[in-house]
Amino acid sequence: MTATPESRWIRFLRTYGPIPTNDNMYDEKIQGALRRHKIEPIQLPTQFLQAIVENFRSVEPLSTILTGTAGDGKTFHCREAWVQLGGSPKDWKDRPVQELSLGEKQLFFVKDLSELKDGDGEEFVVQMAADVMDPASPRLYLVAANHGQLLEKFKASPQTDSVRATKAVIEEILVSGENPDSSVRLILHDLSQAPAAEMVVRIVAQLTGHPGWTECDLCPVRSSGTVCPIFENRRRLTEGFEAETLRQRLAAIIELSEQNGVHFSIRQLLALGANMLLGHPDAKDGLMSCKDIPQIVGGDAVHLASVYRNVFGENLVPRQAERTPVFKKLNSFGIGAETNNLVDNILTVPATQSHFAYANGRHRHSHSIVVAEARRKMKDAIDFDELMKALDRLGDALATIRDQRERKQTHRKLARFIGDQRRERLASRVMPSPTPRDSSGSEHLDPIAVGTGIARQKSQKAGGADGPSTEHGSTLSGTTRHEAERPQLSIGAETVDDLADLKAEKNWSASDG
């Protein structure tokens, strides 16, 4: 293959990505792009194609309906069946109904039942219902229709006996997968039941193993020894243990989604595969082309093309990622958004001196503020350099706030208050006493009571035997003797310092700090 400045394969691969012109995803448009770029077609998963072809080649073929959701590959199945049953690819035209002779019978292909206008659609449904119940009918059908469109067409058509019987069989097959009425000679394949977890592995293999990649062998960027982010993403999807792990984990979360009733169409899986290979936030529509590579490499932005970011649509602006079904489904798991301490403890990242400077003294709350500022400025496309820039911006803003006059006054008032509180503080220390305690060992629990006992002893020494002898008697003032004999502490008064005597007896010491 001739090397070109811009690979034809890469240019074609972009049409599968989640770009605004998503009408390119229709089968006819893809076939046109293949012809324009002269690209070998991608062999997509066709789980029912062999059964369809074998049925129409059998002695007693049955009419077949292909149903599913948009993008499940119904048109692709019809076109491939057309080719394998003898039809020419050039004759597969953009017409609602096409015919192909199968011996004595005529096979009618309807690639989209909704394309038939109301009158034509109702007439077609009545004729088809009559033919599927007539074993001698010379007409067979291969019809593609979405779930809702299929049932709506049968409900809107004249309700003949054959239409009602055929509609009942279709509804039962959609629910149970079984045809309860053998007189209705009909097969129905629901493409939405295809296992997406298996298909995504096959689609990634098709995209990464396509012959178009040989154009990259003569790419001037790769020839110079520079790492091409597109080719690096391909390598990470195909080589080594890491590639196998990535594919397995991607298949696992898609399977888990399916178990919860979430469906992934082939169209969505193709968009996912193309985005994993080509995604970059600085490229047009978030998808790289060959001409973007020199600027991305020169701007030291290769890391933003990481396949691990692209698998969740982080190369797209948040609004676009939210509107893209495949990324909305994958991001519902919150991968990378939440963790736990067990995971935190095993995550290690080689740190530079700049990393240490950023992390030193930084707590989780301040880090969250810096990240939010960086995301606001860069629309989620942030790295460590952007975190440092955001930190500088927030630091300048904080310094400006601190320089405001009213805040300086508040700081001075707060400093004076703290200083006053420090001067009024009474620093003390308690030392063990050598004096034996009383037998109860609990006199230290009530120092007031102990102080009262000391005062009583002093009063008895001063008053002699003439003092009051009734322990619980009342004084003239009406207070109890216990209250009257409590030590009266008065700073600066010429009274007996009972607290000082208490300290001396207990061998306590205090020092003002």
Question: Where would I find the H helices in 97-160?
Answer: 118-132, 147-156
Say if residue 399's pLDDT is above 60. yes
Say if residue 420's pLDDT is above 50. yes
Chain-centroid distance of CA 287 in Å reads: 20
Average pLDDT along the chain: 78
Dig out the tokens for 442 from the structure.
Answer: 């609990």
Predicted local distance difference test score (pLDDT) of residue 2: 38
Q: Is the dihedral of CA 31, 33, 38, 42 positive or negative?
A: negative
**pLDDT tier, 446 (very low <50, low <70, confident <90, very high otherwise):** very low
Predicted local distance difference test score (pLDDT) of residue 495: 44
Residues 6+ apart with CB under 8 A from 201: 247, 251
**Can you spell out the DSSP letters for 218-275?**
G-HHHHTTPPPHHHHHHHHHHSHHHHHHHHHHHHHHHHHHHHTT----HHHHHHHHHH
Say if residue 434's pLDDT is above 60. no
**pLDDT tier, 476 (very low <50, low <70, confident <90, very high otherwise):** very low
Dig out the tokens for 158 from the structure.
Answer: 């004249």
Q: Give percent above pLDDT 70 in the chain.
A: 73
Domain segments of the chain as ranges: 46-193, 207-338, 342-402, 442-463+480-513
Least confident of 110-114, 290-294, 503-507: 503-507
Predicted local distance difference test score (pLDDT) of residue 348: 60
pLDDT in tens, 206-219: 999 999 898 888 88
State whether residue 100 is helix, strand or coil: strand
Rounded Cα gap, residues 194 and 47, in angstroms = 7
Residues 6+ apart with CB under 8 A from 304: 280, 281, 282, 296, 315, 381, 383
Dig out the tokens for 68 from the structure.
Answer: 């599913």
Phi, psi of 469, deg, nearest 5: -110, -15
Rounded Cα gap, residues 412 and 423, in angstroms = 17
Say if residue 197's pLDDT is above 80. yes
